[in-house]
Structure 1
């Protein structure tokens, strides 16, 4: 049996914990943010999205736009949820060895996610292209994953 591995958690890991906590508030912001779009579109719970048929059958251009923007807001929220767990795992693991860098990358990831969501629901952008304003956050997430992999590799080879 291999000897136990001791992990010293640096004091700066607190920044990682604060960044992770901030992402929890960001998740809540996303959830609350969908509500006004839902109300404007007139889409009742538990319906998750306006269907293509529902949008096509709507003659009123303002209502059509409201349905479209509701779908964009909902998709931005789902995209956040799809990425939040991998982000948190990567942040927590990468932060063991690179706490300040991981925290800075995590905070910038959060900024990117806000830009993604707000850009996705811009009335002046079609086909959700506004989301590209914050799409760069994915690069930070991949960077965190790489840092987490490095931490894992270092543990195995220690």
Structure 2
């Protein structure tokens, strides 16, 4: 049996680093959720504070916002991973940069969201991570197009 040898562009180390940054992002968000869960006294296994708990309790609102920011990130990660891996077939450094920008945008999104005003999630972070996501959609599409049209 012959060994399989895979040669990667040197740019893949940057992609590995940027993908690792998403682990630190989700850990930051998890700690944020746990902090507000404790402060709002929301017992496990409940996922969100109920409407009655949120009335007049800004910390319960912040808990729900922190929980939603984390959940939204987890919902987005499969797309980010797939798009960055496809893009990296032709542009690994660009893929790494886009994931890094996306991660920074998600941190800002989380900070804005957990103020308790959900509109603040899009002030800076929402725009930044959406720009990074759309750039990955475009470059991944271009990469796949190139793969199918190159003979």
Task: Report the TM-score range of the alignment, normalised by the length of the smaller protein.
Answer: 0.7 to 0.9
The corresponding residue for 2:144 is 152
Counterpart check, 1:130 vs 2:120: yes
Q: Distance in 1 between matches of 2:146 and 2:58?
A: 51
Structure 1 stretches of 4+ moved >2 Å: 53-56
The corresponding residue for 1:84 is 77
The corresponding residue for 2:41 is 42
Stretches of structure 2 that go unaligned for 5 or more consecutive residues are: 1-5
Cα root mean square deviation, aligned: 1.6
The two structures have a TM-score, normalised by structure 2, of 0.88
Counterpart check, 1:71 vs 2:64: yes
The corresponding residue for 1:51 is 50
Query: 1:12 touches 1:99 (CA, 8 Å); kept in 2?
Result: yes
The SS at the match of 1:105 is: helix
Stretches of structure 1 that go unaligned for 5 or more consecutive residues are: 1-6
Distance 1:149 1:12, change over 3 A: same
The two structures have a TM-score, normalised by structure 1, of 0.84
The corresponding residue for 1:4 is none
Equivalenced residues, count: 143
Q: Distance in 1 between matches of 2:17 and 2:71?
A: 23
- Deviation, 1:8, is 6.2
Query: 1:9 touches 1:96 (CA, 8 Å); kept in 2?
Result: no
- Deviation, 1:53, is 3.1
**Correspondence 1:109-120 to 2 at 5 A:** 109-120=102-113
